[in-house]
Chain A
Amino acid sequence: MAAGPGFYTYEMTTSLSTARVAVIMRTFERPVLLARAIASVQNQTLTDWVLVIVNNGGDPRAVDSIVKIAAQSSTQTSQQILVLHLDECVNPGAASNRGLAQCDSDYFVLHDDDDTWSPDFLKVMVNTLDSQKTAAAGVASSARVLETQRGNRLWPIHEALQAVEDGQLTFTSLIAGQLLPSGAVLLRRSLTRDVGAFDESIPMLDDWEFLVRIAEQYSLVAVHETLMRHHVRSVRSEEENVHRAPASVELELATRDLIVDRWLHVTMPNGLNKGQLAITAAGARQAGESVRSMENWRIRVEELERVVRDLQLSIAGDNPSQSIAHQIVHVIEQRRLWRRIVRVLLNPAHGLRAIKRRIAA
């Protein structure tokens, strides 16, 4: 049933799997990552979930083999894993819609096949939305993990916290281009049905576009615990596993332009043009970022100026406190030098290495 340009709502069939949470996992030819992602779902302390794996045109045998192994795990009692093999690769929004059509649930979440959750993700997020009935979605803080993949081996090389703030979850912030990792967002299914399904006509950003539609009508709630890990392959990974960054960036910009172009034909209930709002908000966001960046530079320049001023005063000797400070620094440096000499005498090998490092530097 068409709900607007590019949106489709799938009718529910009678033999649906039901659970509190539907986890939709789209995958394409990444068996090792898929196995880890499934294990992360199986590891959840809340067990009332159904996992729908949408094999988006990849080799069905590889996916079936992974699911067969995962399904052998007996540590979860109420787990349910459904696999939907698509004959050919479709846009991610279409894959999500088809996955959602396989099951009924109170909540749903898009879990990328390379991301992972903390064991309490579903429990905390479901509790949050259970207790905040007006919120259409909950968004958890996440960590961005940069990892290297060679063959089947994966290892992390950097991890950074991406705390979610309440201000990021407003309609204005989202329409301005605020992206959230889809696996960190649990959505209330009953409310989201009103806004239609994922846009099947766009090659990416379907989850962002969907969230913007939700935020237009409903509120989103931030969960400040770090409950999700958003994994990205490093450039040191084998080529086929690397996130194709340049192509993704170009495609992302083109897709965003396409979406905003469409919004230029949409007038919101408050009379504002959605596309114009998106452009204005994005401009304001960029300006805000520039100001923040300038502010950081200004602070740095001021700090530098202060250091130079102090140094000048100290050299001039017209400030007794600076002069004392200067002497203290001198004494500390002398002591440090003596410590180094003693260390070299005690352990010549370390000393030699330190000298080599200095020369190299």
Chain B
Amino acid sequence: MTRALSIQPFDLSNGTISVLSIDFFDTLVTRNVAQPTHVFAAMEKILLEKGQRHRHGFARIRIEAERDARKHQEAIDDRCDVTIEEIYHQLQIRLGVNYGERVSLMQMEMDLEVQMCRAVPRAVALIQEARQHGVRVVVVSDNYLPSSQLLRMAESAGIRGLSIEDFFVSCEHAGMKSNGHLWKTVLDRLGVEPIRILHVGDNAEADGVQASRQGIGFVVNGDMNRSHRAQFNTAPSVLTHSRLEAYVRDELCDQHWSVERIAGTTTVALVIVDQIQRARMAKQASPGATVHFAARDGYLSHKVWNLLQKDNPSMGDAGYIAMSRSVVWRAAINQATLTVLQKMIGNDEVLSVDRLNRRLGFELYKDGAAVAGDQLVNVHSGRALIAHNETRLIESSHELRERLLGYLQHQGLLSSGRHFIIDLGWTGSTFADLADLVSLQSDGDSIIEGIFTGLYWDATAQRTRLAMSSSAVSDFSGMWTNVMLLGLLKLLEALMTAPHGSVVNYKGIDQNFDPIFVDTEPEKRAYETTVGPIGQYAVETALQILNATHPSGITGADVTGAAVWASIMQIGHDPRPEEVELLGMICHVSAIDHEGDGEPLVRQEPPDENYGKVVSTLMHDNWWQGSLRCWQKHPRHSHVANEIIQSWPEAHHEWVRLLDSQ
């Protein structure tokens, strides 16, 4: 018994039902992509691969052509649906192609629909059950494709026993399910009392409300359309993410939706695959070079590398270098400058001397005596106290530098030769500092190169100190792309992390300079409930992709920089409500000492500032899109979100359309 039929009082076996009506897309069949418009992305990909570069943006234009056709149709007769011919007539106008090309493109779309079509197993089971009990099966669909095409697709998906007479398609019957007119036609043609028909579909209005108005019993189940995102986020680069998401959607049919599984199987897995592939390529280009995944962003990739290496020892070892931005920065302090003081205590911070001592790595003194640990200091008193202890600050920094160098020595980073460091990236400043330190210590014999997932404009300054490359997005990728990346950095850092906390120091020589991690409660909690499971799904998927065994058919060749960026954008810039709800609760701890409660990825309410400052705060401290989506739902804050989206084009979730226009 399928979930759809488990809802009482419908039972196909007791003879009360004589016709089973079934919706077509997302009920009887689905596609191997996450949403219908991605078929057009597959078309665009094929056209571009054929060398037709002028077809860049085809998918977007195809969606626009359908909108045009619908507008025309509404003006003539709003009861009727459009046909694929009408859509391609509009497309012909937009593309400026001749009739022959129009027909050829239309045929290409219909052929692709057949190729990408899959049966939904529970619908197939339902049909079988219906036939066992002598119940007739018909397909009732709001669709621009003709019944002959739907029959072709059903047969290609392995659904047998349907004939052309069993299809009631809106574009052929001057009426739609969604406005009720098609239901009247169905009842007329079938000549069956409505009460003896059971309809199964995925749309509450068309398949539920309108069917019931005619007295038809219905079951609505939207499991198969849970993977939809914004229509216009359709481009060839999205296809890798889309196919993985479609795979998870099919797996989760009749089960609860899992944000962890989606995020792990798509974005996080793709970042891992990209990091591993690029590390392998760099190693091939420079035999003898060493590979190091940086904590904590590289934890998952390092795990996958080790698992792959078990089966393929020729890959060689890869290290896991435990360091953090704050530890490298603290190890380079030579003077208590204003910048140093500003970084040590933020403008809004009030903290105990105990915590400040831990942050500095030494005990603060005043008038020859240690300052009481429970005393609270603010930005002014705290900074004054640190300036007063400048000598100790510099000594502490030198000691940390010695321990850091000892650790780097143990990791092999001071030995002569080339060393690749793999990380998410963003500015590369930490690794540029590290490269300076290592180069100075090794007299230029040790060369560090950064292999990153993404870089934004602040990376440009580091290019004078560090050789680095990025795959998904770079500092010269365009302004809006850079802004969009900034808006989701915190999200990516929260997802791509390790079970351990940040490195704050290193042990002494007697303990091999082992790193000292500091765990925070919010991060531990997030790891146990959300981030850990995401990592597990990601590691499993990344291994399958790299071994070319993933059931979706996605292999390493599909994981390009553009595909990784598209996947990051699909979740980070066009999140679904359930993703905002779950991922938004994760807290990101960014204090220099990695203590405190951190900042939740989604800010529940807008700060009381002007819009420019609100945007700036979101970019620096939160997940931009997550927060905007959250505010949009709230009557008190929706006007702030809407105002920001109107004023900042890059805040709009339809990122493909935006970047196309850039």
Contact = CB atoms under 8 A, between A and B. Distances in A.
Nearest to A145: B479
**B interface secondary structure, majority:** mixed
Contacts of B457: 147, 154-156
Which 9 pairs show the lowest CB-CB distances between chains A and B? A152-B461, A35-B463, A116-B476, A72-B467, A156-B479, A73-B467, A159-B479, A74-B286, A74-B285
A14 interface: no
Nearest to A131: B51
A36 B53 contact: no
A347 interface: yes
Contacts of A72: 418, 447, 449, 467
Interface string A45-80: 000000000000000000001100111111101000
A75 B466 contact: no
A42 B475 CA distance: 14
Interface of A: 31-32, 35-36, 38-40, 42-43, 65-66, 69-75, 77, 116-117, 124, 127, 143, 145, 147, 151-156, 158-159, 161, 224-226, 229, 343, 346-347, 349-350, 353
A153 to B, nearest CB: 6
Contacts of B54: 224
Interface in B286-323: 286, 289
8 contacts: A72-B467, A73-B468, A74-B282, A74-B449, A127-B53, A161-B661, A349-B608, A353-B608
Given A75-B282, A75-B469, A69 B289 contact: no
B458 A153 contact: yes
Given A72-B418, A73-B449, A347-B636, 16 more contacts: A32-B460, A40-B476, A66-B463, A69-B463, A70-B463, A73-B468, A74-B418, A74-B449, A127-B51, A147-B457, A151-B461, A152-B461, A155-B457, A156-B457, A225-B56, A353-B610
Contacts of A154: 457, 460-461
B151 interface: no
A73 B469 contact: yes
A35 B474 CA distance: 13
A145 B460 CA distance: 15
Interface string B443-471: 00001010100000110110111111100
A111 to B, nearest CB: 12
A356 to B, nearest CB: 10
A43 B469 contact: yes
A32 B464 contact: yes
Contacts of B608: 349-350, 353
Given A31-B464, A74-B285, A349-B608, A36 B469 contact: no
Interface of B: 51, 53-54, 56, 278, 281-282, 285-286, 289, 418, 420, 447, 449, 451, 457-458, 460-461, 463-469, 474-476, 478-480, 482, 608, 610, 635-636, 639-640, 661-662
Given A42-B469, A43-B469, A69 B464 contact: yes
A92 B337 CA distance: 42
Contacts of B458: 153, 155
Contacts of A42: 469
B285 A229 contact: no
Contacts of A69: 463-467
B474 A152 contact: no
B53 A225 contact: yes
A35 B464 contact: yes
B289 A74 contact: yes
B560 to A, nearest CB: 10
A28 B614 CA distance: 40
Most-contacted residue by chain A among B56, B464, B465, B640 (CB, 10 A): B464
B461 A32 contact: yes
A60 B338 CA distance: 33
Contacts of B468: 39, 73
Nearest to A77: B285
Given A75-B451, A77-B285, A36 B478 contact: no
Contacts of B51: 127
Nearest to A35: B463
Contacts of A117: 476
B139 to A, nearest CB: 42
A346 B635 CA distance: 9
A42 to B, nearest CB: 7
A75 B468 CA distance: 9
A31 B464 CA distance: 7
